[in-house]
Amino acid sequence: MDLSLGFSPCPNDTFIFDAMVNNKIDTDGLRFNTDLQDVETLNKWALQGKLAVTKLSFAVYRKVKDQYNLLNSGSALGRGCGPLLIAKKPIAPEDVKDCRIAIPGDNTTANLLFSIAFPEAKQKQVMVFSEIESAVLDGRADVGVIIHENRFTYQQKGLVKIIDLGEYWESTTGSPIPLGGIFIRKDVPLEIQQQVDALIHKSLQYSYQHYPKLSEYVTQHAQEMDENVMRQHIDLYVNDFSLDLGQEGHAAVDLLMKKAGGF
């Protein structure tokens, strides 16, 4: 059986899916047609039900719950791994509401976490996540919400942190930060849904068995990163919750969806 599968080219996702999509493990007759895209593109596609299996921001889950089920494996959820709000110079948090804010997509969890922390801030500009640092540096935005590998590079570019949005979430809720998960369309037979979930778990276990060595699949999709940054990325966003969300992980997702109701 062939299934369409979408995830990002970021090291955490390629690390998780490498063995599954490159025949390093037995996929029990399933074949995956992969589409690597920025997560906001995947979010938009999910609103159309385009892919059978897809990485999504948890913020968009409430909009696609009638079409997709959340799988237990493959998620990015944890502590100390949230998006950051950065600028060229220090800005008082109470002044953020008057700033022009670059965000990595309307449907991203990063935007939702920012909105929870700064509900009065409305001057948002949507950009591809990799363009946000440059937009702040050249003055197109006053502040930017950064995700992925940018949290490891912003200081090298002379930018400063205004607030860690993940720390804000953790301090106000006590919950780990639910960033993104793997979802499967409800029209896929239940036994296949369970099979895919188990394969993702097995694929990640395979990658862990060979870590810290990085496969060619991971490095070829992260061409502008050095290997140290790739490993930092994996270490931050891939953890026990990625193997299995468990009760705590699902509770964190439910809490985020409840908070999202106000936005």
What residues act catalytically? 148
Cα distance between residue 111 and residue 46, in whole Å: 17
55 is in an annotated binding site: yes
The reply to whether 110 sits in an annotated binding site is: yes
Per the rule left: phi > 0, alpha: psi between -120 and 50, beta: everything else, 28 is left
DSSP letters along the chain, please? -EEEEEE-SSHHHHHHHHHHHTTSS--TT-EEEEEE--HHHHHHHHHTT--SEEEEEGGGHHHHTTTEEE-SSS-EEESS---EEEESS---GGGGGGS-EEES-TTSHHHHHHHHH-TT---EEE--GGGHHHHHHTTS-SEEEE-GGGGGTTGGGT-EEEEEHHHHHHHHH---EEEEEEEEETTS-HHHHHHHHHHHHHHHHHHHHHTTSPPHHHHHT-TTS-HHHHHHHHHHH-SHHHH--HHHHHHHHHHHHHHHTT-
Residues making up the annotated binding site for substrate are 55-57, 109-110
Residues making up the annotated binding site are 55-57, 109-110
